[in-house]
Chains A and B, each alone.
Chain A
């Protein structure tokens, strides 16, 4: 079946611009996660959605970052006034989250963001 998909695969923007990154989770997965991976490092948690609500956004670095998931499926990560330090690969993952259970997160291919 289809995995997690992310668009665009690459995004080049100028400092100060606004960008949106999209994630389509695996069909039926209720939980969705955003991570940021800088060069040579492991992914760092940004935000987690259970359904439509952001259950934990403690990983968002500052208020320039925002994410939505209005219908409980597709999610958009939004970055305002981009800075060069925002350059990274942004990864999305989804899992079939049941009550009290732990489910494996499956990752998309990522969006490589470059801020010039």
Chain B
């Protein structure tokens, strides 16, 4: 089965706090890609990061960091020193790579709604 679980439906934090959004995925494919997208109130999905299954190195981009652990099938996202502009729904997504197909079907999790309170 191909599935993405984001157990946290809603999170509220006070500005400047750190927050981690959890993502757990399931796939039988050995090659796959993981993504995080941000969906602000305006509705447009904004791409944040893509990571392939062979690269478990953690990544940091400004206040954002991602922790990929293949052993636990998790790809968690941390925002450091949160800001009000970080308020949005965040989606984790999985793209299994099947050599028999030639495209990247993306399976989205249900999303985590983050509210950053001033």
Q: Interface residues of A, CB < 8 Å — how many?
A: 29
List residues of chain A with CB within 8 A of the CB of B43: 89, 109-110, 112
User: A42 touching B105 by the CB < 8 A rule?
Assistant: no
Partner of A103, one of B46, B104, B111: B104
A67 contacts chain B at the CB level, 8 A cutoff:
no
What CA separation (Å) do A101 and B88 show in the bound complex? Answer: 30
What CA separation (Å) do A56 and B104 show in the bound complex? Answer: 11
What CA separation (Å) do A100 and B98 show in the bound complex? Answer: 10
Residue interface bits A75-103, CB-to-B below 8 A is 1, else 0: 00000000000000101010101011011
Residue interface bits B18-61, CB-to-A below 8 A is 1, else 0: 00000000000000010101000011111100101000000000
What CA separation (Å) do A109 and B40 show in the bound complex? Answer: 11
User: A48 touching B45 by the CB < 8 A rule?
Assistant: no
Q: A-B pairs with the 6 shortest C-beta distances?
A: A42-B108, A107-B45, A109-B44, A43-B108, A102-B104, A42-B91
